[in-house]
Structures are given as C-alpha cells and as structure tokens.
Amino acid sequence: MSETESTNSHATENLPWWQWIPLTLQIIIALVLAVILGISLGAGNPNPSNAIFITNLAIPAELILKALRALATPLILVAVLHTFMTTNIPSKAGRQLAVILLTNTSVAIIVGLLVANVLRPGTWGSLVVPVPIEITVQSFDPWRLFKDAVPQAILQPLVDNNVIQLIVIAISFGLVLRGLKSEQIDQGKKEYQSTENVIATLFDAIIRILNWVIALVPLAVFGIVAQIIAERGFVPFQSLAAFIVAVLLALFLQACYYLLRIKIGSWVNPRQFLVGGADAFLTAFSTSSSTVTMPITFEILQTKIGLRESSASLGALVGSNFNHDGTALYEAMSALYISQVIGQNLSLGQQLVVVLTSIFASVGAAGIPNAGLVTMTLVFTSVGLPTDYIALLVTVDWFLDRCRTAINVMGDMTVSALLDGKKPRSVDEA
C-alpha cells in the first residue's frame, strides 16, 4: 500500500460510521425513508393527531438553513482573501482572465434567466408555502447600487449578509494585502506570512464548520420531504421536476457556449476538448467538488489537451476559486423559479439585481459540495424572496450540484483554452 493510500485509509477509519457512506447515498436513503414516512402519515390526508409531529419534522431543515445563512458572508470574505494571498496572477494575463471570467459568468446567468423566463417551470405545479409571504416591490435604481456598495462600517456586511458590500471589502483588503506581500518579498521580509497563515487557518476552519453543516443535510432532506408528502402528497414535486428539466437544459446550453468560444477563440478542437477532459468531467460529477477535481484538471489540460502550463494553471487553479458559472446559473434560476412559484414575477430591474448578486455570490462559492446552497441565501435576500423555500430545493440539490460542478470545471478548462490563444505550444515549450 502506498503512503497516500495508507493516509487516506487511516483518515477514513477515523471518520464516524455514518460518514463512511457517501453523501449522495445518504441523501437517497433519506429521500426513500422520507417518502415511506410521509405515506404512512397520510400522503396528503394527515391525521389531525399527527399535526404537531409533522410540523416538527421541518425543524432540522430550518436550523441548517440558519447555519448556512450564518456561514455565507464569512465564507465569501475569507475565500476571496485567501485567493488573493495565495494565487500568483501575472498582470496582463490577470486582466484577460478577469474579462473572460466575467463574460462567461454573465452569459451563464443570462442563459439561466432566459430558460427560466421561457419555460416558466415554477408555473408547472405548486409548492407548499412555508411561511406567510410579504414581498415589497421596489423600483430599480442603479445609482443606489453603487451607493450601497460602500458599507457604513467594516463589519456591517457580515451582520446584514450584504454580499455586494462584502465583495467590495474583500477585494479592497485582498489587493492591499497582496501588494504588501509583494513589497515585503522584494525587501526580503517575511512578515506577510503570519497574515497569510491566519487567513489560511480561518479559511480551513470555515470549510470544516461548513462540512459539519453539510453532513446534516440528509437529516434536513428527510424532515422537509416527509413533511411535504405527509401534508400535500406528491403534488408539490411536479414543479420541482420541471425545475430539474429547466436547469439541465440551461447547463447544456452553457456547455454549447463553451464549445463555441473554444472553436472561435482557441486553437483547441472542441472534440479534443471533450474527449481529453472526460476524466475531469466525470471526477467533478462523482465528487461534486471542483477543488477535488483541480489537480486532475490541471494535469489533463497539459497532457491530454496540450495547453501551456501557465494557461493551465490560471484556468485550473485560479479558475477553481473565482469561476463558478454553473453555480451562478443555478442560483439565478432558483430565484426566478421560486418567484414564479409564489406568483411574484420579478421585474427586469429585479432580474438585473439577481444577475449582479449571482455574479458576486458565485465568486465566494467554495469549490466544495453544496456550497451553492450557502450563497443562494444572499441571492434570494437581494430581491426579497423568502429563503425558506431553499429547503425545498435541497431535495434535488444533491443531483443538480453534481451537474453544475461539471459545468464549473468545464468553465475552468475553457478559460485555460482561451488564455492559450490560437497558436498551439511549440516543441520547445512542450
């Protein structure tokens, strides 16, 4: 047994017994048990004597949503700072990278909103209303967005869950810290290492806490599905089926956009791109983590597709931190879907707010399973949608998360191909 295999085996042995079961299988088991319990409790015609028990089934989901909401802003702040401090981005390539990332993410969100507006999956069925809904429709003021981007206090965005203000603070501090690090390296100083270590430790700590919360997701799925089936039967999931179809269609269109961009802006053949990237796509789908897939993506970009190392590193390493097109698309579609479900159609101005918030929120989405659930609360809040409905999306998120992670990785690889230009690397570069 190799050293790596021995380490992995030892780590597995230290896990609690329930974590030996993959999260996806846990959620599937939770769904099956929830369906059985929901049917036994009436499947739409519950016994009044079970009313309190059925209501309490949703408590785990409510608690987990609170925890996700609490983790959202610190995750984005620390993730952005960690990326600025640890990733080396050349200035010219950095500007090109920023334009490509912004373009790809914007297109992903527009594709998602376009599909959601055309198919209107939220009108195909009905979902239970978890709480009384009061939505205040506000007129769109672009200048107010710029004014509100600057917080009155440094810590206020953490308390208010204001993602735009948080990104402004994170990028500002990230640029300053990165500049100080460069200056100290030029002067032979190492004071920056203590700050870098603190940020890295905080990032690891937040990820660990997030993993604890995600480990409880099957319990939340069990409770919310059992409650819905007991109270409403299977009617509510008709609309969720339509949502799944709409998201898969939008992700397919985004993949087609990637291949078109590669055909036009890179020397890489789209067929070669798909065949060479198969391992990365399958790994992303099976692990539901772009971070886990990152080493594989970096390797195949060079060996199977033939990109330069610099292009591969910018796409696979930097892209995995900032490029989450699939997640941004999913969050935008989720907001529009829920607005259709509750009969509150978002205006063009509100959809623009969703676009901007989804772009910023996707930057803070860590490359780990189900991280999109964390930042989705911020997208919903930006247009006044009730975050309680996110608990219903959790029931299908285990599958859609894998699909959008594969698109995230495909986006990373597309960025690398575009950065590599229209000329393949020479023999001397190989």
Q: How many residues does the chain have?
A: 430
The pLDDT tens digits of the residues spanning 45-82 come to 777 877 788 878 878 777 876 776 677 678 777 877 87
Would you state the pLDDT for residue 270? 93
The pLDDT tens digits of the residues spanning 102-157 come to 888 889 989 998 999 999 887 776 655 554 434 333 443 456 656 767 788 787 77
Cα torsion through 355, 360, 361, 363, rounded to 10: 130
Would you state the pLDDT for residue 60? 78
The pLDDT tens digits of the residues spanning 233-255 come to 766 566 688 889 999 999 999 99
Which tokens hold the place of 391?
């608990």
Would you state the pLDDT for residue 256? 96
Would you state the pLDDT for residue 377? 73
From CA 422, how far away is CA 212, in angstroms rounded? 45
The pLDDT tens digits of the residues spanning 263-286 come to 998 999 999 999 888 888 887 886
Q: Answer whether CATH 1.10.3860 is correct for domain 22-42+49-420.
A: yes
Q: Does 11 score more than 50 pLDDT?
A: no
Cα torsion through 159, 162, 165, 169, rounded to 10: 50
Burial-class residue 400 by CB neighbours within 10 Å (0-12, 13-18, 19+): buried
C-beta separation of 318 from 303 below 8 A: no
Of 292, 281, 279, nearest to 367 by C-alpha is 292
How many Cα atoms occupy the beta-carbon half-sphere of 209 within 13 Å? 15
In this predicted model, which residue has the larger pLDDT, 427 or 414?
Answer: 414
C-alpha distances in Å from residue 141, one per residue of 49, 148, 248, 299, 339: 50, 11, 33, 46, 20
